[in-house]
C-alpha cells in the first residue's frame, strides 16, 4: 500500500532523529475506512517497514468504548489488552501499540505521536498549560491521565464535546504530543512549527536546548563500582554498569512514562557505597537504574550493555527535559499514584523487556566476557560464539583497529552493544591496568575473563635467539600473570558484595602445555608454566569465589597462527625443518592432521564448549582440560 510505504519513510525519518525520538519511542498510524494500521510493540520507528504495521479492525477497536470497564486499573488494562489483541487482523499478527484506541479516535488519516524533549520541556513544566495556550492556541491541552484505557476514554469524552473540526495537535501533560492530519506533508509542517516556536521560547528564556554536561570524576570508582554491581545482582547474574562518558544532572523525579520504563523514577545518589542501594530498594521496592556518584559520574544499570546504554539514553533525555522546564516554571513531576501506576503497568514491563534485548538461555547470557587476543583467530571465534548466546563480549587486543572492526561486525550480526573493543598489550602492566579500568567503566566488572592472547616463536634450542625466548615468555607467561593480577581484585569486590556468586578465569593453553613440543621449547615451556600458574591461582582465589581453569586445545590449523602465509606455524615449521621430508606447507599440514585421531584440527566452537562447561561447573577449579581430538589423553 502506497500510504504505508510513505508512512514508513516518515516514521524512519523521525525515528532516526534524536531531536524527536529516543530509544525508538513513539507511534505512527494510518486509517482506511475499516482498518487502522499501526506500529506494533517491539518495532522501533527508525527501523519500521511498510509490512511491519499491524492491521486492526476499526469497529472492533470502537467496541472498547461500549464495554463495561472494571473499576480496578489492572483489570481494566487487561480487558483493553485482550480487546486490542482481538482487533488485530489476521489474529496473532502482532502486539499492537497500547495507544491504538487513541489513534482510532483521531479523525485524520495519519497520526504521528512522539515525545521530543523540546516539547516535553513544556508538557512537563509547572506552567505548561498557560504556555501552551499562549504559544499554540489551536492545540488541545490534556492534563495528565494514566496512559492506556483511561487516557483513551478521557480523550473520547473530550473529542465528543468538541464542536466542529478536531484539533490537529494534542499535547498530553507529562507525556508528549499527538499530531494528526490527512497528509504527511501537513504533519511535517506542524511539527516544524511546534519545534521552531518552542526553540524560540527557550532562547528568550535563556535556557539551553542542549544538555549541559561536565567531565566525569572517576577517582575511586574502580573500587566501588564492582561492589555496586554485586549488590545490584543476584546469585545467578550481575547487571552491567555503564559509566557515562560525560556527566550530567539527572532528573530528580518522574517526568514521563517513557523515561520511567527505562530509567525508573528517581536516581540513586551513592555517598556511602552499596548501603545506599539497599536503602533505595527498601524505600521504593526495587533497585535503581541510574546511579549518581559522589564525584558526579552517572552510571546506567541494565541486564546487558544494550539495556545499560538505554538507561543512560533515557536519563539524558529526562535530564534535558528537566533543564528545559526551567523556561516555564520548573518541572512538574508525576505524583506517587501516577508513578506507581506506570511502575506496575504490564504494558510498560513488556516494552522494557523488548528494549533490553534477548538471547539464548545459556549460562553466558548477559555475562561480561573478556577475550584477550580477541580480534582474530581463536579469540575471535570464541568471542563470536559467546556473542551468539547473549554474552557481552569485550575484544581486548593489541591491534585495536582490527578489534574495533571485529566488534562492529559482531554488533551487526548479534545486535547493538553485543561487543566492545579495548586496546591492551598483556605484556605491559600499565596497559593491562588501563584495560581493566576501561572494563569497569564500560561494564561495571567482569564475569568471565578468557586469557587467550599468546605468541609463538619456533626454533631449535641450539639456535633460538634469546630475544625470541624472552618475547614468548613475556607474553604467554608473564602476560597471563599480569592479567590475573589486574582482574582478580575486580572480581573479588563484586563477589564479596554478592555472596553465592562465582566468577571465572579461563586460560587458553595448548596441548603443548600437556606434552613437550619438538623445536618449540619456548612455547611449550610457557604453556607448561601457565598450567602451574592456573593451579596456583585457583588455590588462592577460591576464597574470593573465583574459579581458575585452563583449556588445552589442539591445533587450530585454519587460524592465522598456523595458516598465515608469511608468519604462520606451517611456514615456520617448514623453514625450521621441524617436519622431516616436508617440501611444502601442505606437507606440513598433512603431517599434523595425521597426528589427530579425529582427523582434523581444533575449531573455536570446540573450545567454546569447553569454556562453557568449566564456567557451568560448581565444583571444578585448577584443571587443565584437553580439547585435542584425542591427540593428547590424560591418565
- What pLDDT is stored for residue 363 in this prediction? 67
Question: What pLDDT digit, counting tens, does each position of 474-497 carry?
Answer: 999 999 999 999 999 999 999 999
Average pLDDT in the 428-456 region?
Answer: 97
> Residue 353: which pLDDT band, with cuts at 50, 70 and 90?
low
Within a 10 A sphere around the Cβ of 59, how many other Cβ atoms?
A: 11
Q: Which of 266, 480, 523, 592 is catalytic?
A: 523
| Cα distance between residue 355 and residue 203, in whole Å | 34
Give Cα 461 to chain centroid, integer Å: 49
- What pLDDT is stored for residue 350 in this prediction? 46
Give SS3 for 397. Answer: strand
Q: What angle do CA 77, 47, 88 make, to 5 degrees?
A: 35
Question: What pLDDT digit, counting tens, does each position of 209-232 carry?
Answer: 999 988 777 778 999 999 999 999
**Nine-digit cell string for 372:** 584477550
- What pLDDT is stored for residue 361 in this prediction? 39
| Residue 214 · residue 245 · CB < 8 Å | no
Burial class (CB in 10 A: 0-12, 13-18, 19+), 164: exposed
Whether the pLDDT of residue 348 is over 50: the answer is no
Average pLDDT in the 284-290 region?
Answer: 95
Whether the pLDDT of residue 41 is over 50: the answer is yes
- Residue of higher predicted confidence among 154 and 432: 432
Average pLDDT in the 195-208 region?
Answer: 98
The C-alpha R_g of the chain, in whole angstroms, comes to: 29
Lowest mean pLDDT among 151-165, 431-445, 556-570: 556-570
| Residue 282 · residue 274 · CB < 8 Å | no
Burial class (CB in 10 A: 0-12, 13-18, 19+), 66: exposed
| Residue 537 · residue 544 · CB < 8 Å | no
Following DSSP, what letter does each residue of 404-457 receive, concatenated? HHHHHHHHHHH-TTSEEEEE--TT-HHHHHHHHHHHHHHHSS-SEEEE------
Within a 10 A sphere around the Cβ of 75, how many other Cβ atoms?
A: 11
| Residue 392 · residue 366 · CB < 8 Å | yes
Within a 10 A sphere around the Cβ of 250, how many other Cβ atoms?
A: 22
**Nine-digit cell string for 187:** 504533519
| Average pLDDT of every residue of the chain | 93
Question: What pLDDT digit, counting tens, does each position of 515-545 carry?
Answer: 999 888 999 999 999 999 999 999 999 999 9
- Residue 480 a catalytic site member: no
Report which listed range, 72-81, 124-133, 454-463, is most confident.
124-133
The rounded percent of the chain whose pLDDT value lies above 90 is 79
Dihedral sign for Cα atoms in the order 394, 398, 400, 406 = negative
Longest dimension (CA), the chain: 100
Within a 10 A sphere around the Cβ of 450, how many other Cβ atoms?
A: 30
Amino acid at each position: 500500500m502506497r500510504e504505508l510505504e510513505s508512512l514508513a519513510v516518515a516514521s524512519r525519518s523521525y525515528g532516526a532523529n534524536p531531536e524527536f525520538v529516543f530509544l525508538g519511542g513513539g507511534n505512527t498510524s494510518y486509517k482506511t475506512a475499516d482498518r487502522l494500521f499501526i506500529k506494533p510493540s517491539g518495532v522501533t520507528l527508525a527501523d519500521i517497514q511498510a509490512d511491519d504495521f499491524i492491521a486492526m479492525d476499526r469497529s472492533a477497536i470502537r467496541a472498547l468504548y461500549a464495554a463495561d470497564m472494571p473499576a480496578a486499573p489492572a483489570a481494566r488494562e487487561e480487558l483493553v489488552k485482550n480487546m486490542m489483541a482481538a482487533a488485530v487482523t489476521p489474529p496473532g499478527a502482532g502486539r499492537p501499540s497500547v495507544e491504538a484506541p487513541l489513534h482510532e479516535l483521531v479523525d485524520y488519516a495519519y497520526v504521528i505521536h512522539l515525545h521530543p524533549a523540546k516539547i516535553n520541556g513544556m508538557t512537563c513544566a509547572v506552567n505548561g498549560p498557560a504556555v501552551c495556550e499562549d504559544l499554540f492556541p489551536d492545540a488541545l491541552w490534556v492534563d495528565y491521565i494514566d496512559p492506556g484505557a483511561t487516557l483513551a476514554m478521557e480523550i473520547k469524552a473530550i473529542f465528543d464535546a468538541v464542536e466542529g473540526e478536531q484539533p490537529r495537535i494534542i499535547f498530553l501533560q507529562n507525556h508528549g504530543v499527538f499530531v494528526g492530519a490527512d497528509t504527511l506533508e501537513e504533519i511535517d509542517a506542524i511539527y516544524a512549527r511546534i519545534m521552531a516556536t518552542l526553540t524560540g521560547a527557550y532562547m528568550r528564556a535563556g535556557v539551553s536546548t542542549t544538555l549541559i554536561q561536565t567531565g566525569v570524576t572517576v577517582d575511586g570508582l574502580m573500587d566501588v563500582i564492582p561492589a555496586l554491581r554485586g549488590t545490584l545482582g543476584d546469585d545467578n547474574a550481575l547487571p552491567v554498569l555503564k559509566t557515562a562518558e560525560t556527566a550530567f544532572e539527572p532528573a530528580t523525579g518522574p517526568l514521563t512514562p517513557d523515561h520511567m520504563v527505562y530509567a525508573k523514577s528517581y536516581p540513586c545518589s551513592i555517598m556511602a557505597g552499596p548501603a545506599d542501594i539497599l536503602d533505595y530498594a527498601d524505600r521504593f521496592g526495587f533497585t535503581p537504574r541510574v546511579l549518581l556518584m559522589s564525584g558526579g559520574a552517572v552510571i546506567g544499570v541494565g541486564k546487558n550493555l544494550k539495556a545499560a546504554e538505554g538507561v543512560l539514553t533515557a536519563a539524558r533525555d529526562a535530564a534535558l527535559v528537566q533543564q528545559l522546564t526551567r523556561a516555564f516554571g520548573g518541572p512538574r513531576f508525576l505524583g506517587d499514584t501516577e508513578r506507581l501506576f506506570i511502575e506496575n503497568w504490564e504494558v510498560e514491563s513488556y516494552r522494557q523487556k523488548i528494549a533490553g534485548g534477548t538471547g539464548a538461555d545459556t549460562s553466558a547470557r548477559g555475562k561480561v566476557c573478556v577475550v584477550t587476543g580477541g580480534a582474530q583467530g581463536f579469540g575471535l571465534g570464541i568471542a563470536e560464539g559467546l556473542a551468539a548466546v547473549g554474552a557481552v563480549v569485550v575484544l581486548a587486543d593489541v591491534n585495536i583497529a582490527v578489534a574495533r572492526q571485529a566488534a562492529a561486525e559482531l554488533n551487526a550480526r548479534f545486535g547493538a552493544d553485543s561487543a566492545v573493543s579495548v586496546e591492551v598489550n598483556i605484556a605491559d602492566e600499565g596497559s593491562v591496568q588501563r584495560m581493566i579500568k576501561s572494563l569497569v567503566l564500560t561494564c561495571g566488572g567482569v564475569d568471565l575473563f578468557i586469557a587467550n592472547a599468546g605468541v609463538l616463536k619456533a626454533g631449535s634450542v641450539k639456535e633460538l635467539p634469546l630475544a625470541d625466548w624472552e618475547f614468548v615468555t613475556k607474553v604467554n607467561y608473564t602476560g597471563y600473570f599480569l592479567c590475573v593480577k589486574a582482574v582478580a581484585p575486580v572480581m573479588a569486590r563484586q563477589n564479596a558484595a554478592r555472596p553465592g556468586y562465582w566468577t571465572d578465569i579461563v586460560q587458553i593453553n595448548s596441548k603443548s602445555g600437556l606434552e613437550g613440543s619438538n623445536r618449540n621449547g619456548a612455547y611449550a615451556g610457557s604453556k607448561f608454566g601457565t598450567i602451574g600458574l592456573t593451579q596456583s591461582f585457583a588455590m588462592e582465589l577460591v576464597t574470593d569465589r573465583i574459579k581458575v581453569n585452563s583449556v588445552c586445545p589442539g591445533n587450530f590449523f585454519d587460524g592465522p597462527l598456523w595458516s598465515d602465509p608469511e608468519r604462520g606455524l606451517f611456514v615456520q615449521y617448514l623453514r625450521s625443518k621441524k617436519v622431516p621430508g616436508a617440501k611444502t606447507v601442505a606437507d606440513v599440514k598433512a603431517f599434523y592432521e595425521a597426528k589427530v585421531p579425529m582427523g582434523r584440527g581444533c575449531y573455536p566452537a570446540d573450545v567454546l564448549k569447553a569454556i562453557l562447561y568449566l564456567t557451568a561447573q560448581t565444583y571444578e577449579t585448577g584443571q587443565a582440560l584437553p580439547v585435542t581430538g584425542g591427540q593428547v589423553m590424560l591418565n
